[in-house]
């Protein structure tokens, strides 16, 4: 098999595999933390809560390690695959006009240019809008929820909150001090989430004025 055909095939297969696996690891959606629930939301019972934890914010690297990270970036599989595609495509086109060492040089230049001018920028745009990891119930602390129904005599009832772009329902319980004070919660009342209990899928809430 022609060396340039092989280079084009290997690089193309590698880029395609990385693109498919990379896009598949990012589920679409937007974070819903901190939003009030409007009256127009339809609330459906039994929504499942997202199970994955939000990622921690990355820490900046020390300037002294910049050269090391730039070197590692040159060894990335994506860069290798895209350069291979460029070498293969350039070589197949240029072999009709030149040969020998000049063809090799042109193929290498074409591979580097293909990565730098086309694949690199396109790859960044492709994953630029990748969604953030799904939020969990813990992230809703201090958010606003609404009572789906009036709370019972024990200060408990269903509440609805927006979590990771979806409206979910969980059991809400008034704080002890609110129950002692005789606070009543009616359907549609706005509540603040004070604490969460993910094991039992419930929240401790307080009324909002």
Q: Read out DSSP for the chain? A: --HHHHHHHHHHHHHHHHHHHHHHTS------TTPPPPTT----TTPPPP-SPPPPPPPPPPGGGHHHHHHHHTT-HHHHHHHHHHHHHHHHHHTTT--HHHHHHHHHHHHHHHIIIIIHHHHHHHTTTPPPPPP-GGGGTT-EEEESS---TTSEEEEEEEETTEEEEEEEEE-HHHHHTT----TT-EEEEEEEETTTTEEEEEE--
The length of the chain is 209
pLDDT band at 46 (very low <50, low <70, confident <90, very high): very low
The pLDDT score that the predictor gives to residue 32 is 39
Which of 148, 138, 142, 125 is CA-nearest to residue 43?
148
**Is the pTM for the entire model greater than 0.85?**
no
Could you tell me whether strands 156-163 and 202-207 are parallel, antiparallel, or unpaired per DSSP bridges? unpaired
Could you tell me whether strands 144-147 and 202-207 are parallel, antiparallel, or unpaired per DSSP bridges? unpaired
The pLDDT score that the predictor gives to residue 184 is 92
Greater model confidence, 209 or 47: 209
pLDDT band at 129 (very low <50, low <70, confident <90, very high): low
pLDDT digits (tens, 9 = 90+) for 194-205: 988 878 888 999
Tokens representing 176 are 């002890």
Greater model confidence, 81 or 124: 81
pLDDT surpassing 50 at residue 62: no
Tokens representing 156 are 């408990």
* Of the listed ranges 18-27, 77-86, 138-147, 183-192, the one predicted with least confidence: 18-27
Tokens representing 136 are 């969990």
The pLDDT score that the predictor gives to residue 20 is 76
Mean pLDDT computed over every residue of the chain:
74
The pLDDT score that the predictor gives to residue 16 is 85
Q: Please, is 183 exposed, middle or buried when counting C-beta atoms within 10 Å of its C-beta (0-12, 13-18, 19+)?
A: middle
Greater model confidence, 20 or 87: 87
pLDDT surpassing 60 at residue 17: yes
Could you tell me whether strands 156-163 and 190-197 are parallel, antiparallel, or unpaired per DSSP bridges? unpaired
The pLDDT score that the predictor gives to residue 128 is 63
Which residues, in sequence order, are CB contacts of 18 under 8 Å at separation 6+? 77, 78, 81
Average pLDDT over residues 43-66: 40
pLDDT surpassing 60 at residue 50: no
């Amino acid at each position: 098999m022609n060396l340039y055909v092989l280079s084009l095939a290997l690089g193309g297969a590698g880029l395609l595999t990385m693109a498919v696996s990379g896009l598949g690891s990012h589920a679409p959606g937007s974070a819903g933390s901190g939003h009030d629930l409007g009256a127009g939301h339809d609330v459906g019972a039994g929504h499942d809560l997202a199970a994955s934890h939000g990622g921690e914010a990355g820490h900046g690297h020390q300037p002294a390690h910049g050269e090391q990270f730039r070197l590692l970036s040159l060894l990335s599989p994506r860069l290798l695959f895209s350069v291979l595609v460029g070498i293969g495509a350039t070589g197949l086109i240029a072999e009709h006009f030149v040969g020998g060492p000049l063809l090799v040089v042109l193929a290498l230049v074409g591979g580097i240019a293909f990565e730098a001018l086309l694949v690199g920028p396109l790859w960044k745009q492709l994953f630029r809008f990748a969604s953030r990891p799904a939020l969990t119930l813990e992230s809703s602390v201090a958010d606003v929820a609404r009572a789906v129904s009036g709370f019972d005599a024990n200060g408990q009832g269903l509440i609805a909150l927006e979590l990771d772009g979806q409206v979910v329902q969980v059991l809400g319980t008034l704080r002890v001090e609110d129950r002692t004070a005789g606070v009543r919660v009616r359907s549609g009342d706005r509540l603040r989430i004070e604490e969460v209990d993910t094991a039992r899928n419930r929240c401790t809430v307080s009324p909002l004025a």
